[in-house]
Amino acid sequence: MTITLAIDTAAPRLQLGLLLGDGRTDVSVDDIATGHAELIFGRIAELLERNGLGYADLQRVVTTTGPGSFTGLRIGLSAARGIGLARGIPVVGVSSLVALSLSATGPATVLLDARRGEAYFQTFVGPGQPTMDGDLLPMAIAQAAIVPGTALISSPFVDIAALARHGATLDPTGHPPEPNYIRDADAKPQTAARIERTGA
């Protein structure tokens, strides 16, 4: 079994999962809306230490890529990439919507409140098996599109142990650790005060 560290900072939690060589998993969870950056490496060190491991023992890192908190996602992605670069190991990115589907036992619909009357929406025939790309829809349309008879997942908190197990099986080349915001960032470049450049 590939020793895999899973990271999720997309929701107001710092979640870490560690898949061990014997197939067991251990997790660390902190319910925090902010402060992920200050805690993440200390929590990773604690998780590794209590399992008798160090960074040198890691063989893979998997991280959620969003949608979710812009700041939280950047922290998780940066930590995962940094560990991967330092250790020379693969880093796998998994959409947060796909990660959420891993808690299902059969067909599922993931519907997350994206605020502003909108929802992140994706349907699955089974855990980690999407039938469509994740989308941002008006809430009323998303609710009307829920597939009858499927499990409805509306919590933003992934099963971090399931993510570690899933990430250990994926081909890193097809699952890069790139942000999957779906909705564009709120902050837009300022243009009003810019001086138009003229040719010399």
pLDDT in tens, 147-194: 898 999 999 999 999 999 999 999 999 999 999 988 665 444 444 444
Answer yes or no: is 125 within a domain: yes
Task: Round the average pLDDT of the chain to a whole number and report it.
Answer: 92
Answer yes or no: is 188 within a domain: no
pTM for the full model? 0.89
Number of domains the chain is built from: 1
Answer yes or no: is 140 within a domain: yes
Closest listed residue to residue 19, CA positions, set 45, 40, 41, 48: 48
Six-digit token pair at 82?
A: 């940094």
Using pLDDT thresholds of 50, 70 and 90, give the confidence band for residue 33: confident
Answer yes or no: is 169 within a domain: yes
Report pLDDT digits (tens) over 79-94. Answer: 999 999 999 999 999 9
Answer yes or no: is 199 within a domain: no
Distances (CA, A) of 193 to 26, 132, 185, 196: 52, 42, 21, 9
* Cα–Cα distance measured from residue 188 to residue 138, given in angstroms and rounded to the nearest whole number: 22
* Cα–Cα distance measured from residue 176 to residue 3, given in angstroms and rounded to the nearest whole number: 19
* CATH number of the domain enclosing 142: 3.30.420.40
Q: Are 13 and 29 in contact, with CB atoms under 8 Å apart?
A: yes
Answer yes or no: is 198 within a domain: no
Answer yes or no: is 156 within a domain: yes
* Cα–Cα distance measured from residue 90 to residue 173, given in angstroms and rounded to the nearest whole number: 9
- Residue range(s) defining the domain that contains residue 163: 4-174
